[in-house]
Structure 1
Amino acid sequence: MKFTEFLKGKGAKSSIFMGIFYAVCMLGIFLPGYTAIPGNIDQLPIAIVNEDTGEVGAQIAENLKGQLPFEEIKTNISNKAALEDLEDNELALVIHIPEAFSANLQNGDVSSSIDFTVNEASATVVASTMNQVVSQINTQLSTQFSQQTAEGILMNLNVPKEQAQEMAEKIDNSYVGNIVTINDIPDGMHNNMLPMFLTMALYVGAMIAAMQLVGAFKANRGKATKTRLFVYVQVTAVIIGILAGLISAAIAFGINDVSGEMFIQIWEQQILNYWVSFNFTATVIFLFGEAGMLLNIPVLLFQTIANGATISRDLMYAPYEWASYISPMYYSVQAYFANIFGSTSVSPFLMGLTLVGIVAMLINIVIVWIFHKPLQVDKA
């Protein structure tokens, strides 16, 4: 056999096609998706809560509102409500100016600080970007208000130059920005990316299983009714989810800094993840056969951006944001952020994940009912 004949074979042609197809899909989906960073940073919502009874707080709030690059800045909100929204990732940053800020600053009190609160149990880019923003704000305010405080006090006091200089040096550190982190994630990228890795580990396996189990469904037609075979496929998917979920949860606990109390909850979610992912990816396999994998691959890649692990919905371009509402990976990742690292309710995300699975299974039932004609069952 000549090499040219080998290249004309089905295996070589398929390999060449998949190599090009995967490269086009990956770069064509990833690169446009990540151009949202830092371009869409201004879409992140933040809150500035001014409770200062003096004039300085109002001036700071107004200046920050005009200088910060964010389009949505909430000001008519209480600090308690703002922190609750931050907990639910409806806000990316809360800037709180306390009641006695002006008085403390004018008195040279080292307790004159502004609270900057960031939620680490959120998309990686959001948390890191907010920390950078806070650092820049603190640098500017520290320089600005140490000078203003010194000038204000020295103007109100008739003191000799030597004492005035000594006084100014003490006042130099009168402002300190207080950075508060809620839902702290342990150090290490493996901890920050754990929600995504747990989700993807079972999603990819379920996608491959969808092709194999649907293939088994078709291969066994005539040996049992299609209803019975469909039930067999679903039960098998649940069994695989139980086993794969147990192993994946054990690996995560062996490597990551996760509380032992979370093991059962993570295992249960992994079982749900697998079953939902299986039905979600099996839809195109039931419809188009093995060729459906050509659609499953770009859908998988699309969800790696739309799942919210790296960039939040506020930063996503419209197609990725729309995809997040029907993406099993999005609901799973957000459920893990809430369950493992956060204190917000996990229920909405698990309900969303379950709803995607039920809808996908119902679609599969309709496809099997319409497109897979009944065959006479061999009773032998």
Structure 2
Amino acid sequence: MKFTQFLKQKGPIGAIFMGVFYAVAMLGIFLPGYTAIPGNIDKLPIAIINDDAGEYGAKIADQLEESLPFKEIETNVTNKQALKELEKNDLALVVHIPETFSADMQKGKVSSSIDFTMNEAGATTVSSTMNSVVKQINDQLSSQFSQQTAQGVLMDVHVPEEQAAALAKKIDTAYVGNVVAINEMPEGMNNNMLPMFLSMAGYVGAMIGAMQLVGAFKANRNKASRRRLFTYMQLTALLIAVVSSALAAGIAFLVNDPGSNALFNLMGQQIINYMVFFNFTAIFMFLLGDFGMIVNLPILFIQTLANGSVIPREMMHLPYEWASYISPMYYSVQAYFANLYGSISASPFIWSLLAVGAAALIINIVLVAFVHKPVAEEVVETASKAEKAPTSREVTV
């Protein structure tokens, strides 16, 4: 056999196609998606609340609005309302200037400082970006207030203005920014990435399971009814979901130690994840056959970016943002963040996940009922077409 003859066979052709397709799909999806960092940082919403009764607060608030690289800055909310939005990750940062800030700074007190509050139970890009932004703000304000505060203190004790200005440069910074992190995560990248890894593990396993079980469904249509085979598929998927979720939760517990209560919540959600992912990916297997697996791969790549683990929805480019609304992985990741590290209920995300799963199940039922006919009907239909087709002996005029 010649090499060219070998290359023309089904196996080598498939391997060549998948190698090229995988490289193009993965790089073509991942690289454009990650250009959102840091390009779309300005899309993150923040809040600046000025409760200061003096002049410093207003000046700082105006200065921050002009200098910060964010297009959406809320100012007409209370600190309490802003913190509630922050817990839901509807805000990326809350800057609060307290009521006594100006008075305290004029007296040289550092007990009343500006609060910068962030939520760590969310996309990694947000927390790292906000930490960098807050550091820059604090450095700027420290240098701005150090001389002003020191000079004011010295003048209050009747030191001449010129002498006070000279001595002020030698006095340590009076301003100290108060950085507050809510829903703090344990140290280690493994903790930050756990929601994504759990979701990815369930999704990839369910995608391969869908390919195998849809194949078994098609291979056994002459042995049982479509309804029974479809039920068997779902029961098998549920069995896989329970076993694989128990193992996934066990590994997460051994490595990350989320706690016994979180362990059972984690396992329960992972079971739901698998069933939703299974039916979501099975749609393309029922609809397109073996080619459905090729379609499932780029959909997986898109969800890897659109799941909100690294990039929040506000920063995503439009195609990825649209995908996040129908992506089961997005709701899975957000539910894990809320369950494992957050202070809000995971219920809204779980219900959204179940809604996607229910829609996928209904679509699969419709495909089984109207697209995949019983084997007997297919045989009759094939025979009928064969009878109508002209034979080689027929002469056309």
TM-score normalised over the length of structure 2:
0.92
**CA contact 1:149–1:171 (8 Å) conserved in 2:** no
Cα distance, 1:174 vs. partner?
Answer: 1.5
Asked if residue 208 in structure 1 is aligned to residue 208 in structure 2, the reply is: yes
Cα distance, 1:176 vs. partner?
Answer: 0.3
**CA contact 2:49–2:78 (8 Å) conserved in 1:** yes
Asked if residue 154 in structure 1 is aligned to residue 154 in structure 2, the reply is: yes
1:36-91 deviation per Cα after TM superposition (whole angstroms, max 9, x unaligned)? 11111000000001111111111100110111010010011111100000000000
1:55 and 1:341 map into 2 onto residues whose CA distance is: 39
Name 1:191's counterpart in structure 2: 191
Name 2:35's counterpart in structure 1: 35
2:23 and 2:160 map into 1 onto residues whose CA distance is: 74
C-alpha root-mean-square deviation of aligned residues, in Å?
1.7
Cα distance, 1:171 vs. partner?
Answer: 5.1
1:18-44 deviation per Cα after TM superposition (whole angstroms, max 9, x unaligned)? 000000000000011011111110000
Secondary structure at 1:94 match in 2: strand
Cα distance, 1:160 vs. partner?
Answer: 6.3
Asked if residue 16 in structure 1 is aligned to residue 41 in structure 2, the reply is: no
Cα distance, 1:376 vs. partner?
Answer: 5.0
Cα distance, 1:261 vs. partner?
Answer: 1.5
Name 1:288's counterpart in structure 2: 288
Correspondences of 1:347-366 after superposition (within 5 Å): 347-366=347-366
Which amino acid letter does the alignment assign opposite residue 72 of structure 1?
A: E
Which amino acid letter does the alignment assign opposite residue 112 of structure 2?
A: S
Name 1:320's counterpart in structure 2: 320
Q: 1:23 to 1:279 in 2, by over 3 A?
A: same
Correspondences of 1:1-380 after superposition (within 5 Å): 1-159=1-159, 164=164, 168=168, 172-376=172-376
Unaligned 5+ runs, structure 1 = none
Cα distance, 1:374 vs. partner?
Answer: 2.3
TM-score normalised over the length of structure 1:
0.96
1:274-306 deviation per Cα after TM superposition (whole angstroms, max 9, x unaligned)? 000000000010011111011100000000000
Secondary structure at 2:314 match in 1: coil
1:155 and 1:71 map into 2 onto residues whose CA distance is: 40
1:110 and 1:119 map into 2 onto residues whose CA distance is: 25
**CA contact 2:145–2:173 (8 Å) conserved in 1:** no
Cα distance, 1:149 vs. partner?
Answer: 1.1
**CA contact 2:57–2:101 (8 Å) conserved in 1:** yes
Which amino acid letter does the alignment assign opposite residue 244 of structure 1?
A: S
Which amino acid letter does the alignment assign opposite residue 217 of structure 1?
A: F
**CA contact 1:48–1:95 (8 Å) conserved in 2:** yes
2:14 and 2:285 map into 1 onto residues whose CA distance is: 18
**CA contact 2:151–2:167 (8 Å) conserved in 1:** no
2:257 and 2:62 map into 1 onto residues whose CA distance is: 41
1:167 and 1:259 map into 2 onto residues whose CA distance is: 55
Q: Does 253-262 or 75-84 show the bigger shift?
A: 253-262
1:140-176 deviation per Cα after TM superposition (whole angstroms, max 9, x unaligned)? 0000011111233334442269984897378533210
1:72 and 1:162 map into 2 onto residues whose CA distance is: 43
Secondary structure at 1:193 match in 2: helix
Q: Does 22-31 or 367-376 show the bigger shift?
A: 367-376
Paired residue total: 377
1:167 and 1:267 map into 2 onto residues whose CA distance is: 63
**CA contact 1:108–1:171 (8 Å) conserved in 2:** no
Secondary structure at 1:231 match in 2: helix
Which amino acid letter does the alignment assign opposite residue 209 of structure 1?
A: G
2:334 and 2:170 map into 1 onto residues whose CA distance is: 47
Larger radius of gyration: 2
2:102 and 2:256 map into 1 onto residues whose CA distance is: 44
Secondary structure at 2:315 match in 1: coil
Which amino acid letter does the alignment assign opposite residue 228 of structure 1?
A: R
**CA contact 1:110–1:173 (8 Å) conserved in 2:** no
Identity %: 64
**CA contact 1:186–1:257 (8 Å) conserved in 2:** no
1:108 and 1:251 map into 2 onto residues whose CA distance is: 53
2:373 and 2:164 map into 1 onto residues whose CA distance is: 94
Which amino acid letter does the alignment assign opposite residue 249 of structure 2?
A: A
